Amino acid sequence: MGLLPVVIVGASLGGLRSAEALRRSGYAGPITVFGDEPHAPYNRPPLSKDVLGGGDVTHASVAFPQRAATADVDWRLGTRIASADLERRLVRTADGTEVPYRALIVATGLRPKRLSARTEGLAGTFALRTLDDAGALSDALTPGTQVVIAGSGFVGCEVAATARQLGCEVTVVGSGKLPMLGPLGPALAEELMRRHEAHGVRFRLGTHVAEALGQDAVEGVRLADGSEVACQVLVEAIGSLHNTEWLHGNDVDVDQGLRTDSAMRVLRADGRPWVDVFAVGDVARFPNAIYGDVPASIEHWNIPTETAKRASRILAMQLAEDPDVDAAIAERFAPVPSFWSDQYDIHLLAYGLPALADRMELLAGRTDGECVYGYFVGARMVGVCGIGMRSEVMKFREEVSRYGHVAIGEPA
Partner 1 sequence: MLKVDVDRTQCQNFGQCVLEAPNVFVLNAKDEMEYTPVVDDSELENVEAAIDVCPMQAISLVSGR
Contact set with partner 1 (CB under 8 A): 17, 24, 43, 45-46, 64-65, 301-302, 305, 338, 340, 342, 347, 349, 388-391, 394, 397
CB 302 within 8 A of CB 337: yes
Our CB check for partner 1 shows the closer of 15 and 124 to be 15
Q: Distance (Å, rounded) from C-alpha 401 to C-alpha 195?
A: 30
CA distance 185 to 392: 19
Q: Is 77 exposed, middle or buried (0-12, 13-18, 19+ CB in 10 A)?
A: middle
Of 24 and 92, the one with the shorter C-beta distance to partner 1 is 24
Minimum Å distance from CB 349 to partner 1? 7
Instruction: For partner 1, give the closer residue by CB, 254 or 346.
Output: 346
- DSSP assigned state of 34: E
Give the residue with the Cβ less far from partner 1, 108 or 338.
Answer: 338
Query: Which residues of 55-208 form beta strands (DSSP E)?
Result: 74-77, 81-85, 90-93, 98-100, 103-106, 110-112, 125-127, 146-150, 169-174, 202-205
The DSSP code for 355 is G
Q: Are 91 and 263 in contact (CB under 8 A)?
A: no
Q: CB of residue 259 vs partner 1: minimum separation in angstroms? A: 25
Beta strands at 125-127 and 110-112: parallel, antiparallel or unpaired? unpaired
Distance CA 35, CA 81 (A): 8
Find the shortest distance in angstroms from Cβ 43 to partner 1. Answer: 6
Minimum separation from the CB atom of position 391 to partner 1 (A): 5
User: Nearer to partner 1 by C-beta: 24 or 102?
Assistant: 24
Nearest in space to 204 (alpha carbons), one of 175, 238, 231: 175
Q: What letter represents residue 69's amino acid? A: A
Shortest approach of partner 1 to residue 402 CB, angstroms? 15
Task: Provide the minimum distance between the beta carbon of 366 and partner 1 in the complex, in angstroms, as a whole number.
Answer: 16
Report, in Å, the least distance between residue 79 CB and partner 1.
25
Q: 388: how many CB neighbours lie within 10 A of its CB?
A: 17
Q: Which is closer to partner 1, CB of 119 or CB of 401?
A: 401
We find the least distance from the C-beta atom of residue 211 to partner 1, in angstroms, to be 37
Can you point out the beta strands (E) in 243-320? 258-259, 265-267, 273-279, 284-287, 295-296
Look up residue 152 and give its DSSP letter.
-
Nearer to partner 1, 101 or 396 (CB): 396
Question: Of 322 and 392, which CB lies nearer to partner 1 in the complex structure?
Answer: 392
- Whether residue 36 contacts residue 80, with contact meaning beta carbons closer than 8 Å, is answered with yes
Nearest CB to partner 1, comparing residues 381 and 389: 389
Q: How far is the CB of 3 from partner 1 (least distance, A)?
A: 27
CA distance 152 to 157: 6
